[in-house]
């Protein structure tokens, strides 16, 4: 199982997530996804879902980890 994943939205890099003891930490690739910077997710899939929500204009993201 990998420790680092690239998150893409519509073929655009949103960021990467890196596994650490508490889950997966998000590092934004572009300003569009800065609202996720440093957030901890239970899985890479949850981080991907959050990136899709940001790309679709959702402002209030639920706490995940």
pLDDT tens digits, one per residue of 5-62: 999 999 999 999 999 999 999 999 999 999 999 999 999 999 999 999 999 988 656 6
Q: What is the pLDDT of residue 62?
A: 60
DSSP of 3-62, one letter per residue?
SEEEEEETTEEEEEEEEETTEEEEEESSGGGGGGTT-EESSHHHHHHHHHHHHTT---PP
Among the listed residues 36, 56, 32, 55, the one whose alpha carbon sits nearest the alpha carbon of residue 44: 36
pTM for the model: 0.85
3-state SS class at 60: coil
The CA distance from 16 to 60, in Å, is: 21
Residue 1 has pLDDT above 70, yes or no: no
């Amino acid at each position: 199982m990998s420790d680092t994943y690239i998150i893409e939205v519509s073929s655009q890099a949103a960021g990467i997530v890196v596994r650490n003891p508490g889950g997966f930490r998000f590092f934004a690739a572009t300003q569009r996804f800065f609202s996720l910077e440093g957030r901890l997710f239970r899985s890479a899939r949850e981080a991907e879902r959050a990136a899709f929500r940001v790309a679709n204009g959702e402002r209030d993201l639920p706490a995940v980890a």
